[in-house]
Amino acid sequence: MEIIHTPSEDYVPLCLVNTRSGTPFVNALELRPLKNTTYQIDSVALSVVVRVDTGSTTNTTYRFPLDAYDRVWVPYYEQAWTQLTSSLTVDPDSHIDFWPPSVIMSTAATPINETAPMEFFVEPPDATTGYYVYLHFAELQQLKPNESRAFNINVNGKLLYGPVIPKYLTSNTVYSTAPITGKLNYTFTINKLENSTLPPILNAAEIYSLLDFSQSETYKDDVDAIMSIKSTYGVKKNWDGDPCVPLNYTWAGINCSSDVLEPPRIISLDLSSS
């Protein structure tokens, strides 16, 4: 499982909660830093659904060191698509915030039928699931003066973004600024504009589902105080993780406030049988 999350503090609390479905465990935990200007989603986290190299010609999965952020890119094909390639480096002098690797961006998918749109589909488990979509583009052909490539991106027939006019060997990322939600299926369509002489392209795509991490961690001073009490008095209770979060699994002997507008506070403490 891969999650993108912006912590509210200078640390990342991790708590595995026994929800009475078996003892929780984790085999490995890896952290990767991202630029603050990428994947900017307030109070929520993103869980990777797919991250695909749509123009792959090698059927190879790529990650670090070719991707500086160690994102895993897997090849993806549609029978109605063909590939464009370039032996040149995409973004040779600078990098956009999302920094898709050149090995991914130097190939692109395009429709075999140049008048046809490019389509891909997402089927959520329910209508409440929200998605954020990030589509990466770079022109790989040096267009002649009488050539142009421009297209719109639609979701279920409604404009998501456009027009997109890819720049030669320069990455551009188009993304949804609000969650796409409320439907049981989504059709993403990339449509060539009428005055465009060339069909649309798509170099790479990322789709994330929304995780609600809006519940704040316990007020930091309270956490520091309760950890000091645990250490000083040798408390034997099973006190690990966040004292108040999740609210249904607060530490034994602790009562917490539940104001949705403020971080939880420890409001009472029972040290009996500790």
Instruction: Give residue-wise pLDDT tens across range 176-214.
Output: 999 999 999 999 999 999 999 999 999 999 999 998 776
Residue 5 banded pLDDT, cuts 50, 70, 90: confident
What pLDDT, on a 0 to 100 scale, did the predictor assign at position 214?
66
One DSSP character per residue, 168-195 reads BTB-EEEE-SS-B-S-S-EEEEEEE-TT
Question: Mean pLDDT across the stretch 147-173?
Answer: 96
pLDDT exceeds cutoff 80 at 170: yes
Percent of the chain with pLDDT over 90: 64
pLDDT, tens digit (0-9, with 9 covering 90-100), for 236-264: 777 877 888 888 888 888 999 988 778 89
What pLDDT, on a 0 to 100 scale, did the predictor assign at position 138?
96
pLDDT exceeds cutoff 90 at 95: no
Is 124 in contact with 131 (CB distance < 8 Å)?
Answer: yes
pLDDT exceeds cutoff 70 at 38: yes
Domains of the chain: 32-214 (2.60.120.430), 220-269 (no CATH)
Determine whether 6 is exposed, middle or buried from the number of CB atoms within 10 Å of its CB (0-12, 13-18, 19+).
middle
pLDDT exceeds cutoff 80 at 52: yes
pLDDT mean across residues, the chain:
90
Is 69 in contact with 206 (CB distance < 8 Å)?
Answer: no
**pTM above 0.95?**
no
Is 122 in contact with 135 (CB distance < 8 Å)?
Answer: no
pLDDT exceeds cutoff 80 at 7: no
Question: Mean pLDDT across the stretch 102-123?
Answer: 95
